[in-house]
A and B are shown apart, each in its own frame.
Chain A
Amino acid sequence: MRIEAQNLEHYYGKEYVLRGVDLSIPAGKFIAIIGESGSGKTTLLSILSTLLRPTSGSVTYEGQTLDEVGNIDAFRRRNVGFVFQFHYLISYLSLRENVALSALDETLIDPLMDRLGILRLAGRYSDEVSGGERQRAAIARALINRPSVVFADEPTGNLDTKNALGVYELFREFSQSGTGFIVASHDKKIADFADTIIEMEDGIVTKIS
């Protein structure tokens, strides 16, 4: 699903955090948004992912403006996945139940968990597995409805280098299967895996490579 942003601006009070952002993101690619803290990458990610309405400008998914979407919750459930810096798994649910939380087709759960290498842990709870395994479960939850695009905000922020590289490899692998990934990070290593790098500084896109 192609995502386009036109002249995005966003302010918190009188402070702008995003100015004049125009982007065209092709479907099924691994896109990295990198920049220092306060550069506006998280705000851009939030707007592109439907979580935040921009002060001005518009976002379209395959030509459809988000403002025209009637039920944004249902739209998000079908088309968008999220991975956060912290896994945010629900602690009283097993990993499988966490993945199943939004699943539209539960038969996809086990194959997906198997592909992510956590099927053997499906019955365990988040406090019974490692940080990397938790984040894999969070990725499974994001992917379960085969979304067109998964947004991730600092998804490796709480992981060691080995697990961080494992997550990037997963993103790369799934993007090659057609799922787009848009990842905000200040981790320079992501550049080795992404198809496109969007660099940001002071709320402005400074470079796309």
Chain B
Amino acid sequence: MITPIKALRKNRFKTALIFMSMTVSIAAIFLISAISGGVVSMYSAMLKTDGDVIVTQKGIADTFFSDINRSLVSPIAAMEGVREVSAMILGAAPVDPLPIVGIYGVSENRFKSYALKQGSYPKAGEVMLGSKIYETLKHPRTITLSKQEFKVSGVFKSRIGFEDGGVVMNLDEGGKIFHKSASIFLISLEDLGKSDTITAAVNALNPQIEAKTTESFIDSYNQFKIIQTSSDVIGAMAFLMGILGIVSMMSMVVNDRKAEFGIMRSIGLSSATIIAKLLWETLIIALAAFVVAWGISEGVLELIEHAEKFQGYINGEITGPLLLKVFVVSVAMALVGTLMPAIYASRIDPMSLIQRGGA
């Protein structure tokens, strides 16, 4: 272990370049994965609040476009095994001076899921604000939404960034703004074991609607798939960029240290020993880069979370599984990126030492 560290210290400049290249790549993977994971988990958490089964318009790609008739709430609520049904309108609109804000029209029975910090739940002509947007807008008494002025009735705190940076109003007000009856129903069940039966019964009510367990909805939701796929593609690009950075830098390192590897070959060290030596060197760099990238990513996520510009909507979290995944990716990046230069180093002909003479 000491020898690779000495080699890295001796080649400080190139070691620093490899370290920086890896750190940037690993941080990029951390950030894109944490942010996309954060978006998915925040939206999932919002849907899962009091929602064991979710009902949307059939065949809709995005809940924002879903339009279902709220008159269906009553027959669903009357079904055996259903504890409660709440309706929601999901929308987004500018709230001066913010260009876009999440707007949630909710049935009154869902108000209880918002923990009030001050004031009261909204009545007609009123809204309540998440604490984040309340701070961003500097404690407004009224807001203008879709050219209408609403009185701020209260402020709630939510751990879900989309809600904490959003505006909640009652369902009727939301319906007027977005010209729809409801976007989704969230059904809370008395017994989760009956979810299949109830889902089938709800689907039989109206051919225009589609009921799924919330878990199943989240698994199949196209928007989540798009976010996840985009994140995977960007992550893969960062991984490849990291590998290319290592390959090019390690090729230069090997070229600089030709005499060293030539002498190792001449004194009979095996190719495997030389390859292992170089792999150790980049693994050490990868480990350091991983730790630093982790720290940088936590810092950046903290900054983003508190940046007014993002209204708390971007709320990434580096979870244990993500740490493990990125650690494995970092090690793989180091090994794959070093392998070709290391194989080249292990094949350096000791004859070159003789031919170079006193070089």
Residues of A within 8 A of B (CB): 42, 45-46, 51-52, 71, 73-78, 80-82, 84-86, 88, 90-93, 97, 101-102, 141-142, 153-154, 157-158
Contacts and interface: CB of A to CB of B under 8 A. Distances in A.
Given A74-B270, A101-B267, 15 more contacts: A42-B354, A73-B268, A73-B270, A82-B267, A82-B350, A86-B356, A88-B263, A88-B353, A90-B260, A90-B263, A92-B7, A92-B10, A97-B3, A102-B268, A102-B269
Given A73-B270, A77-B268, A154 B351 contact: no
Listed residue (A42, A46, A51, A78) with the most chain B CB atoms within 10 angstroms of its CB: A51
Q: Rank and list the top 6 A-B pairs by shortest CB-CB distance, nearest first.
A: A77-B268, A92-B10, A76-B268, A102-B267, A92-B6, A88-B263
Interface of B is mostly: helix
B164 to A, nearest CB: 54
B259 interface: yes
Contacts of B7: 92
Interface residues of B, number: 26
Given A91-B10, A92-B7, A93-B3, A73 B271 contact: yes
B105 interface: no
Nearest to A153: B354
Nearest to B354: A153
Contact of B259 (A76, A88, A101, A141): A88
A82 B266 contact: yes
Contacts of B212: none
14 contacts: A51-B266, A51-B349, A51-B351, A52-B351, A71-B270, A73-B269, A74-B268, A84-B354, A86-B353, A88-B260, A88-B263, A92-B7, A92-B10, A157-B358
Contacts of A74: 268, 270
A78 B268 CA distance: 8
A154 B263 contact: no
Contacts of A93: 3, 6
B93 interface: no
B2 to A, nearest CB: 9
B268 A86 contact: no
Interface of B: 3, 6-7, 9-10, 259-260, 262-271, 349-351, 353-354, 356-359
A141 B267 contact: yes
Given A42-B354, A157-B357, A80 B268 contact: yes
Given A77-B267, A141-B267, A86 B357 contact: yes
B270 A85 contact: no
A194 B271 CA distance: 35
Contacts of B262: 88
B357 A154 contact: yes
B357 A46 contact: no
A46 B3 contact: no
Contacts of B9: 92
Contacts of A90: 260, 263
A78 B270 CA distance: 12
Contacts of B263: 82, 84, 88, 90
Contact of B265 (A73, A86, A158): A73
